[in-house]
Amino acid sequence: MTMADYRIHPENGLEVGIYTLGDRMPDPTTGKISSEKQRIDELVEEATYAEQAGLDYYGLGESHQQYFTNQAHTVILGAIANATRKIKIGSAASIVSTTDPVRLFEDFATLDLLSNGRAEIVGGRASRLGIFDLLGYKYEDYAELFEEKFDLLLQIAANERVTWSGKFRAPLNDIAVYPRPLNGKMPIWRAVGGPAESAIKAGRAGVPMVITTLAGPVSRFKESVDIYRDVLRENGYDPAEIPVTTAGLFYVAEDMTTALREYYPHVDEGMRLANGYGFDKRAFAAQRDPLQSMNVGDPEAVVEKILYQYEQFGMQRYIAQLDFAGMPHKQVMRQIDYLGEKIVPVVKQYTRAYPKK
């Protein structure tokens, strides 16, 4: 597949979008929490507003535990497909390990038809492991489950009829999987954390990579991106034809001090509720450094950060997580305004003028 097959057009500049894990956490500053109904309505409204702001992509993740409302993420994406017309939509990520790849492909091929060819799949392994108990899988099979099912998903995407056998699912013997995507091809990305191990596997398979860069020095994540492209070359793929997306936390205010003050309670409490531990305040304050990966600050500082990351990573898409940990809906909408008015125009102007080779 070429870059165009992945629906990426670098000549238009860096794609910029947003993603959400659909969390429904209490606002740490007020204690307020949205109802499930309200939260789902907010997700659809935010995606629609992102399209109006000129953003390129909206991604919705999947989670199956307390503080989240995106268990049926493909259903919500269907509502978003109906409410929008141009913005690309996809997962961020779909948990391949605990999902039947046939059903996952059927769902997203249907979503692609509903959206007139705008759907994409990002396959992930799950960072929160309650889904294994809930859906009846063994955590000790964590890595093996993903690799086997992701391989089957890729085969289904590449072939209308599939013959396949594995350890965790009944075999397929020349079985056709329908429906097919609108234009015959479905972009399938592999979600990767910071360490290089998963990036290496993505490179061996020749699939595009979405790498999460929540916090820490840009140089740490550059190592994984560089290794990924090296492995692509070693396995006969052209890195210039296979895109990379970077994903991470984002918050903009009129000045750096305000941005750090307003955002820290959300990052700290969100990490505490999701992972059992908070975010060190000194480490968070260090994120003001242009060489750090968390995109927080005033508009000019965030533009500088994104462009520096573009120079280091050479990615084709950047997606921002705006609504982490009980961020009020009005503030999320304001973040979309910042993106559309002050961030995206400058970033696209620069990346169109100086495309990464």
Rg (CA), the chain: 19
CA–CA separation, 70 and 341 (whole Å): 29
> 4-353, superfamily in CATH?
Luciferase-like domain (3.20.20.30)
Please tell me whether residue 254 adopts helix, strand or coil conformation.
Answer: coil
Stated as kind and residue range, the H or E segment containing 191 is strand 188-192
- Amino acid 201 reads K
pTM (predicted TM-score): 0.95
- Amino acid 82 reads N
Buried b or exposed e, range 269-304, using 16+ CB within 10 angstroms: bbbebbeeebbeeeebeebbeeebbbbbbbbebbbe
The two structure tokens encoding residue 276: 């059992």
Listed by start position, the domains of the chain span 4-353
Cross-strand partners of 191: 210
pLDDT in tens, the chain (357 residues): 889 889 999 999 999 999 999 989 899 989 999 999 999 999 999 999 999 999 999 999 998 888 888 889 999 999 999 999 999 999 998 989 889 999 999 999 999 999 999 999 999 886 666 666 766 677 677 689 899 999 999 999 999 999 999 999 999 999 999 999 999 999 999 999 867 888 999 999 999 999 999 889 999 999 999 999 999 999 999 999 999 999 999 999 999 999 999 999 999 998 888 778 889 999 999 999 999 999 999 999 999 999 999 999 999 999 999 998 889 999 999 999 999 999 999 999 999 976 654
